[in-house]
Amino acid sequence: MKTRALLVLGVVFFASFIGRIAVLASEATGKASPGVEQGDAVGACVDGELASAVKDRMYSLDRRETAIADREAELKTYEAQIDKRLAELEEANGALQDKIETVKESRNEDIAKLAAIYEGMKPDQAGKIINEMDSKFAAGLLSAMNNEQAARVVASMDSEKAYLVSVILANRSQQLAQ
């Protein structure tokens, strides 16, 4: 007996549930029940304060949905702007890298020319001039020179300066090996 009563109650609740789904589905598709206006579709199933609360909640959700859609459109606009700026920055970075490479090549050519000039000088004369140079620059110049001529120039340099330039050259070689 209890089983039959529970079954009947289950069928009644299920039918009620299906009825509410039908009303909500007709509301969602824009088709209200005959004789019931679109705004009153909720009122067909529910009356009073509950109907008002449901309507208010639906309107609130609609406003939030519209606000979210607007925000998504705004974010897409920002994303497009960011993508455009990123592409511009990548292009500028590429151009900058090309310029850096050109400057490096030019610098290396200039150092090679200067090294050739110092190789053509007498070691004593070159040693006196290189003594006056910045140690890092002098090390770069000597590394670009012919090894035999560079050895003669270093031999004619001031011993402290020659030591400093040698240490710089050794550190460069060590850093390149790592």
pLDDT digit string, tens, across residues 30-47? 554 454 455 454 445 556
Q: Terminus-to-terminus CA distance in the chain, angstroms?
A: 89
Determine, yes or no, domain membership for 111: no
Residues 136 and 178 in one domain: yes
- What is the pLDDT, as a whole number, of residue 2? 66
pLDDT digit string, tens, across residues 17-29? 787 887 777 776 6
Burial label, 140 (beta-carbon count in 10 A; 0-12, 13-18, 19+): buried
Residues 135 and 172 in one domain: yes
Block residue for tokens 């004789």 = 35
Residues 130 and 163 in one domain: yes
The structural domain count of the chain equals 2
Determine, yes or no, domain membership for 148: yes
Determine, yes or no, domain membership for 37: no
Report the length, in residues, of the chain: 178
pTM recorded for the entire structure: 0.48
Question: What is residue 68's three-state secondary structure?
Answer: helix
Determine, yes or no, domain membership for 133: yes
Mark 27-55 as b/e (b = at least 16 C-beta within 10 Å). Answer: beeeebeeeeeeeebbbbbeeeeebeeeb
Residues 131 and 101 in one domain: no
Q: Quote the domain boundaries for residue 79.
A: 46-106
Residues 100 and 134 in one domain: no
- What is the pLDDT, as a whole number, of residue 178? 65
CA–CA separation, 118 and 97 (whole Å): 31
What is the DSSP secondary-structure string of 18-67? HHHHHHHHHHHTT-PPTTS-GGGTTTTT--HHHHHHHHHHHHHHHHHHHH
Determine, yes or no, domain membership for 93: yes
Determine, yes or no, domain membership for 40: no
